Amino acid sequence: MADKPSGLVQGTLDMLILKTLELEAMHGYGIAIRIEQISKGVFQVNPGSLFPAFRRLERAGWLKSEWRDTENNRRAKYYALTALGRKQLKGETREWARQAAAIARILEAES
Amino acid sequence: MSFLRNLAGGLRGLLRKERVEREMDEELRGYLDAAVNEKMRRGMSREEAMRAARIEMGGAESVKEQVRAVSWESLVETLWQDLKFGLRLLRFNPAFAAAAILSLALGIGANTAIFQLLDAIRLRALPVKHPQELAAVRIAERNGATGSFVTRYPQLTNPMWEQIRAQQQAFSGVFAWGPTTFNISPGGPVHSVQGLWVSGEFFDVLGIAPEKGRLLSPADDRPECTSAGVVVSHAFWQREYGGDESIVGRKITIEKHPFEMVGVAPASFYGVEVGRNFDVAVPLCAEPTIRSEFSVLNRRDGWWLTVMGRLKPGWTIERASAQLRVISPGLFEATLPAEFDPGDAKHFLGYKLGAFPGATGISDLRATYEDPLWLLLGLAALVLLIASANLANLMLARASSREREMGMRMAVGATRGRLIRQLLAESLLLGLAGALLGAQLAHVLTRLLVSSISTQSAPLFMDLAMDWRMLGFTAGITVLTCVLFGLTPALRATRVSPGVVLKSSGRSATSGPARFGLRRVLVVSQIAMSLMLVVGAILFSRSLQKLATLDAGFTQNGVLELDLDLTALHLPAEGRAEFKGFVVQQVRAIPGVESAAEAGVVPLSGNGMNRQVLVAKGGQVVEGKSELNEISPKYFATLQTPILAGRDFDDRDTLTSPTVAIVNETFARKFLAGANPVGSTFRVKSESKETGPFQIVGLVKDAKLYELREEYLPTMFMAVAQKQHPEQDETILIRSQVSLFSLISALKRTVQQINRGIDMDFTPIDRLVEVSLQRDRLMARLSGFFGVLAVLLATVGLYGVIAYMVERRTSEIGIRMALGADRGSIVRLVLREASVVLGLGLLIGTAMSLAGSRAAATMLFGLKPTDFATYVLALASLSAVAALASFLPARRAARLDPMVALRNE
């Protein structure tokens, strides 16, 4: 499907979702807005990839979900990290930093 | 862990599907609401916000579909949906479904049945402990041997076996065995059972545990044992003793000698010969007791044993062979028959022993039936291919009519993969039904096959239980055919652009030349393959016909073979000939008997003997091999073989008169350059002694001796009355016009009146002929069956394509008729189309048949695989059927009403 978020490397979305949920549990729309805001609009996440990702992460045991009332008194499904998810985030962050640093070094050497 | 969680989540999704779906709906709605609220907060109007949020979100259904696609359970679910949908479609088209399933079942059933037989005869390992450790020990390249050969597998002599046992190092244990038949009747009519000669190690090395009592051990197989213990098979115990618990310790009479039954072998054990079961296993040491004067146990030129062993850990077949090769020179030196002439001795001393894989045991069926079965499997595979092509054609036709449905579904968001999956589910459904029905059919077919190659004297015993190989084979060909007939149509059907399909209202898009081309290619290949099968069928049935109507040199019908065992009478050697002559006299006196005579060798029984003869011709001596038969007067009259010159044996030929002989035409040709042999003499060399001279007193017409396929062999006949050492058994051939039943009962009465102690056995000669034609009949029947099936399927295929062509060109035909074309020209138009397809198919088929029929060359009799008449007949009959199949749609086209045809547009 061609509706991947712009510039988002496959697999990165999972990491962004985990990172967004590091501090507190959030519902789907909240997560999408937060990713858009923090990335200053570089990443736009659409539901077509967001919801399959939720299902995937839940199945992997990194997310858990529960129904809660929102600030507007509506019911929404809130996602939160599990202990396993936290571990996964830590691992992925470390790996990402390592790769990014390596790529940066290569690009500098090139110039 | 995560796999289990995934499994649990998936199961939850399946079991509580509605709740999961409801939650997903609610979540998406919440998302949309939140997005709208957010946009309104930024200042959009409610309508604008709704619109923007909806565009952002895309179709709710497609989002849900993507979420579902993440989880494995959705695959199960869509597969289930596809199967249900496919089932519904098939229910709407019962004729299509029935035709498809039936043709698949026939194809799969035939393949499975033949494979099952091959599996049982060739591939399956013996039901013993670690069969892959077993190896057979025999002479690597024997290239002929001299001596007496008894049993079905005369590979080694007993002295050799004793040497091998003493000298081998490669095996943790070795054993020798040989198959035989025993008469277990205490007197009167013969009761034949399948016997095994086994060395004491037999059961031990194979790792067989007794079902009752004990099995034989080396202690039972001591030299010169007179009353050894014997072991019976489970089947024999059930059949003859009704599974009586007290069988251990009871006596059984084998060839008039009592033996004690010490145990019963387990039901799963049939010996090491595939395709046969044994009844009684007797230690080798009892052979002299049972065979008495014919014993070969201590004869160095008596070939009757087969040796197998279990390899020691770490030993391979190659290493074992190497060790056996090393001991060979000494071993054959020590077992050389003293009476061999220098030539035979040199050949004998050159033998080398070798080890050969033994996991699948031994079987004479392999030599006779392995190649034919592979060939039949090939033919059956062709039938299945033709059936697949037919189905592919039908599926293509359906694809054309369903392309609007496909276009519509793609337009509303179904992916191509999803549609292909659904179409394949339909094929899978057909394939599965075909396989199930085919397996049932195979069950029946295999039993039919087994019974058609079984004989009374050597009944076939097959372990036909399902094994993984069988299951794998059936599953494999089913999946393969499903892909063959399902995948291409599915790919074709889904290769449509939704826009094009939905726009074109009337004619379908898949009926374009390219689509139609594929269907024609399918029919061409069907016709080509059918031609191969028809050629095969005609070749085999003509071969059988030639064999069956062959002039064997004697008349088989109406001749009965009577075998008598006179051992119990204890006749002195010098009184035997006279007694036998008396029996023949008595038989001739029975009303209805036209003639009767003694015969040493019964033609086509597979038995025979030959001798080296020296014929003096002019000043030279011609030496060569000739078959020998010892007969009494009236032998030729009984078999209705014409005497061409000279005379038959008669009362003048006695022990004291000059020795005489009658020879056949081939003998005269080979040794006397075709001159009238009457009056010539020759000598016979046997065991390095020369006997004779024999004066030739008669010349008879050639006749087949061992089997119908052979070239005529030079044969000499000698008078039983002049035989120095008459045996204790007698074979009498009887020609009569009375029914077999009354003849046999009259014979029984007559023989019992002579002496009650005489054993007797009866075989009609035409049954021998029948047995010798068994394989040819099997090939003719099965290839005929496949041929008819193939033509039927191909005809349906051709009819379908031509009928479809007529339908597609209805309006064109209408225009032609409106412009004045007459019916004949319309018929010609359609037939021209059909004849292109047919001609191409026949051309390719002829080439393929010419190449493929070579595989059948050795199985044919009296005609070459490229037999011209066969090809003409095959081409003509296939063309005729095909013409009929295309004439029907052509006639329908010609009867079209132009107005109706044009309005069709």
Contact yes or no for A55 and B5 at CB 8 A: no
Pairwise CA distance, residues B117 & B119, whole Å:
5
- Nearest neighbour of B35 by CB, restricted to A29, A48, A77: A29
pLDDT digits (tens, 9 = 90+) for B567-587: 777 788 788 888 888 888 888
Q: What is the ipTM of this complex?
A: 0.82
- Nearest neighbour of A51 by CB, restricted to B2, B33, B63: B63
pLDDT of residue B2: 61
Give the best residue of A59, A63, A69, A77 to mutate against chain B (max B CB count within 10 A): A59
Q: Is B148 in the same domain as B36?
A: no
The reply to whether A33 touches chain B by the CB within 8 Å rule is: yes
Pairwise CA distance, residues A88 & A51, whole Å:
19
Contact yes or no for A60 and B35 at CB 8 A: no
Chain B residues in contact with A75 (beta carbon < 8 A): 26, 30
Instruction: List the beta bridge partners of residue B634.
Output: none
Q: Which of B698, B729, B757 is the last residue of a domain?
A: B757
Provide CB contacts within 8 A for B544, sequence distance 6+: B773, B776, B777, B779, B780
Contact yes or no for A58 and B9 at CB 8 A: yes
pLDDT of residue B516: 60
What is the CATH architecture assignment of A12-110?
A: Orthogonal Bundle (1.10)
pLDDT digits (tens, 9 = 90+) for A48-73: 788 888 888 888 888 888 888 877 77
Q: Is the peptide bond before B693 cis (omega within 30 degrees of 0)?
A: yes
The reply to whether A96 touches chain B by the CB within 8 Å rule is: no
Contact yes or no for B30 and A75 at CB 8 A: yes
Contact yes or no for A59 and B9 at CB 8 A: yes
The reply to whether A37 touches chain B by the CB within 8 Å rule is: no
- Nearest neighbour of B31 by CB, restricted to A28, A59, A75: A28
pLDDT digits (tens, 9 = 90+) for B694-710: 889 999 999 988 888 88
More confident residue, B879 or B23: B879
Q: Is B734 in the same domain as B784?
A: no
pLDDT of residue B605: 80
Q: Is B8 in the same domain as B46?
A: yes
CB B595 within 8 A of CB B637: yes
Residue B219 has pLDDT above 60, yes or no: yes
Chain B residues in contact with A70 (beta carbon < 8 A): 30, 34
pLDDT of residue B502: 61
Mean pLDDT for B750-778 is 83
Give the best residue of B3, B66, B68, B72 to mutate against chain A (max A CB count within 10 A): B66
Mean pLDDT for A22-47 is 84
The reply to whether A47 touches chain B by the CB within 8 Å rule is: yes
> Is B136 within the bounds of a domain?
yes
Place of tokens 């021998």: B768
CB B231 within 8 A of CB B169: no
Chain B residues in contact with A29 (beta carbon < 8 A): 30-31, 34-35, 38
Mean pLDDT for B757-768 is 83
Contact yes or no for B70 and A75 at CB 8 A: no
Q: How far apart are the first and last CA of chain B?
A: 64
| HEC sequence for B269-293 | CCCCECCCCCCEEEEHHHHHHHHHH
Measured from the Cβ of residue B444, the count of other Cβ atoms closer than 10 Å reads 11
Residue of chain A whose Cα is closest to the Cα of B415: A1
Report residue B844's pLDDT band, with 50, 70 and 90 as the boundaries.
very high
pLDDT of residue B509: 45
pLDDT of residue B832: 86
Give the best residue of B24, B57, B63, B416 to mutate against chain A (max A CB count within 10 A): B63
The reply to whether A85 touches chain B by the CB within 8 Å rule is: no
Pairwise CA distance, residues B502 & B491, whole Å:
19
Mean pLDDT for B806-811 is 78
Pairwise CA distance, residues B33 & A27, whole Å:
12
The reply to whether B28 touches chain A by the CB within 8 Å rule is: yes
Mean pLDDT for B868-877 is 91
- Nearest neighbour of A48 by CB, restricted to B1, B33, B66: B66
Q: Is B251 in the same domain as B278?
A: yes
- Nearest neighbour of A55 by CB, restricted to B28, B62, B70: B70
> What percent of chain B is helix, strand and coil (3-state, nearest 5)?
55, 15, 25
Residue among B257, B261, B258 at smallest CA distance from B245: B261
pLDDT digits (tens, 9 = 90+) for B324-347: 999 999 988 888 888 777 778 888
- Nearest neighbour of B67 by CB, restricted to A55, A61, A76: A55
Interface A–B counts its CB contacts (< 8 A) at 75
Q: Is B154 in the same domain as B66?
A: no
pLDDT of residue B202: 92
Helix (H, G, I), strand (E, B) or coil at A10: coil
Chain B residues in contact with A59 (beta carbon < 8 A): 2, 5-6, 9-10, 70-71
Instruction: Give the range of the structural domain holding residue B422, as residue numbers without chain letter.
Output: 372-451+461-548+774-903
More confident residue, B797 or B689: B797
Give the best residue of B67, B71, B416 to mutate against chain A (max A CB count within 10 A): B67
**Domain tally, chain B:** 4
Residue A106 has pLDDT above 80, yes or no: yes
Report residue B597's pLDDT band, with 50, 70 and 90 as the boundaries.
very high
Chain A residues in contact with B71 (beta carbon < 8 A): 55, 59
Instruction: List the beta bridge partners of residue B362.
Output: B273
From B24-33, B261-270, B433-442, the region with the lowest mean pLDDT: B24-33
Contact yes or no for A75 and B67 at CB 8 A: no
Q: Is B342 in the same domain as B390?
A: no
From A6-15, B351-360, B442-451, B823-832, the region with the lowest mean pLDDT: A6-15
- Nearest neighbour of A46 by CB, restricted to B1, B6, B56: B56
> Is B787 within the bounds of a domain?
yes
Q: How far is B495 from chain A, CA to nearest CA, in Å?
A: 19
Chain B residues in contact with A47 (beta carbon < 8 A): 28, 31, 56-58, 63
CA distances to B165, B175, B287, B356 from B158, rounded to whole Å, are 11, 11, 11, 20
pLDDT digits (tens, 9 = 90+) for B409-452: 777 667 777 788 888 888 888 888 888 898 888 888 888 888 87
pLDDT of residue B501: 61
> Is B102 within the bounds of a domain?
no
Q: Is B596 in the same domain as B540?
A: no
Q: Is B862 left (phi over 0), alpha (psi -120 to 50) or beta?
A: left
Q: How far apart are the first and last CA of chain A?
A: 36
Q: How far is A50 from chain B, CA to nearest CA, in Å?
A: 9
> Is B739 within the bounds of a domain?
yes
Q: Is B897 in the same domain as B796?
A: yes
Highest mean pLDDT among B527-531, B573-577, B669-673, B796-800: B527-531
Chain B residues in contact with A27 (beta carbon < 8 A): 30-31, 34
The reply to whether B417 touches chain A by the CB within 8 Å rule is: no
Report residue B873's pLDDT band, with 50, 70 and 90 as the boundaries.
very high
The reply to whether B557 touches chain A by the CB within 8 Å rule is: no
Mean pLDDT for B809-836 is 83
Helix (H, G, I), strand (E, B) or coil at B412: coil
B840 is written with which tokens? 């191409």
Contact yes or no for B37 and A1 at CB 8 A: no
Contact yes or no for A52 and B37 at CB 8 A: no
| HEC sequence for B458-494 | CCCCCCCCCCHHHHHHHHHHHHHHHHHHHHHHHHHHH
Task: Break chain A into its structural domains and give their ranges.
Answer: 12-110
Q: Which of B697, B730, B757 is the last residue of a domain?
A: B757
Contact yes or no for A51 and B67 at CB 8 A: yes
Q: Is B302 in the same domain as B158?
A: yes
Chain A residues in contact with B37 (beta carbon < 8 A): 72
B398 is written with which tokens? 């359906």
> Is B110 within the bounds of a domain?
no
CB B396 within 8 A of CB B489: yes
pLDDT of residue B456: 66
Contact yes or no for B66 and A74 at CB 8 A: no
Mean pLDDT for B718-742 is 86
Q: What are phi and psi of B194, to 5 degrees?
A: -80, 125
Q: Is B630 in the same domain as B737?
A: yes
Interface of B with A in 61-90 (CB under 8 A): 62-63, 66-67, 69-71
Residue B897 has pLDDT above 80, yes or no: no
Residue A3 has pLDDT above 50, yes or no: no
Give the best residue of A51, A54, A67, A84 to mutate against chain B (max B CB count within 10 A): A51
Contact yes or no for B70 and A52 at CB 8 A: yes
Q: Which of B723, B757, B791 is the last residue of a domain?
A: B757
High-pLDDT (> 70) share of chain B, %: 94
Give the best residue of B3, B23, B27, B72 to mutate against chain A (max A CB count within 10 A): B27
More confident residue, B690 or B347: B347
Residue B207 has pLDDT above 50, yes or no: yes
The reply to whether A70 touches chain B by the CB within 8 Å rule is: yes
pLDDT digits (tens, 9 = 90+) for B642-664: 999 889 998 888 888 888 999 99
CB B318 within 8 A of CB B302: no
pLDDT of residue B277: 84
Instruction: List the beta bridge partners of residue B302.
Output: B148
Q: How far is B419 from chain A, CA to nearest CA, in Å?
A: 17
> Is B139 within the bounds of a domain?
yes
- β-strands B729-736, B715-719 pairing: unpaired
pLDDT of residue A4: 40
Mean pLDDT for B518-527 is 85
- Calculate the average pLDDT of chain B: 83
Q: How far is A108 from chain B, CA to nearest CA, in Å?
A: 38
